[in-house]
Amino acid sequence: MFDVLNKTTDNLIGTGVIQLAFGDSTRRKRAEIGGLMFHPGARGFGIASLLVKVMMVHAVKESGRDTPGEEYLAHVVDGNGGPIHALLEAGFRPIGQVAIHRGDIDAVIDHMIKEDESAVSLQAFAFDRRAIDSLIFALWKFARRDHGVITRSGPAGDIRLTVDFAQVITSAHLDTRIKLMKHGQ
């Protein structure tokens, strides 16, 4: 589980999770990306997109638990457009509609299934592993060139947020990854 905290108030403003997906009869290793929830006041800054990038770089390059054949999947309930931009920006691609039944994934979806139905319709996404170098570069650029600052202009003036994900992936580690990428490794 990944939490996004406001360090000034220690309030939780967002979350995301990567968990093993169960019920796969093909025996391939699959992980489900989900639980993307953000406080309404934290939306519109690109924090969800940044979080999904950090989650994917951590899962694929940093955790030590990734295997080359592992698939990373995400599902978005029809009508919930919020997470789609974050997933697409983080290297996910749409793979169609799916019907998820109770017990198909290790997540609480029962409350989304209507009383007279047995499943909930979701948009499915799969992570494209070829995107990982682009994600590493985007995180490096954000940490090093942008100094972790997001600026948004609004009616009350500019709002500046400083984002620090060094507890998950350090800037020095991103520097090393960038050097390896430049040398084709």
Residue 92 pLDDT: 96
Amino acid in the structure at residue 5: L
Residue 107 pLDDT: 57
Residue 69 pLDDT: 78
Residue 49 pLDDT: 93
Residue 75 pLDDT: 86
What does the pLDDT average to over 28-36? Answer: 83
Express each pLDDT in 148-174 by its tens digit.
Answer: 888 888 788 888 888 888 889 988 889
Residue 87 pLDDT: 95
Largest Cα–Cα separation, the chain = 57
Residue 56 pLDDT: 94
Each domain of the chain, given as residue ranges in start order, spans: 2-130
Residue 22 pLDDT: 57
Express each pLDDT in 112-151 by its tens digit.
Answer: 777 787 788 889 999 999 999 999 999 999 999 998 888 8
Express each pLDDT in 61-109 by its tens digit.
Answer: 877 777 777 889 998 887 788 889 999 999 999 999 988 776 666 555 6
> For the chain, what is the mean pLDDT?
85
Q: Which residues of 28-56 are buried (b: 16+ CB within 10 A; e: fewer)?
A: ebbbbbbebebeeebeebbbbbbbbbbbb
61 burial (CB, 10 Å; 0-12 / 13-18 / 19+) is middle
Residue 24, pLDDT > 70, answer no
Residue 133 pLDDT: 93
Q: What would the CATH number be for the domain defined by 2-130? A: 3.40.630.30
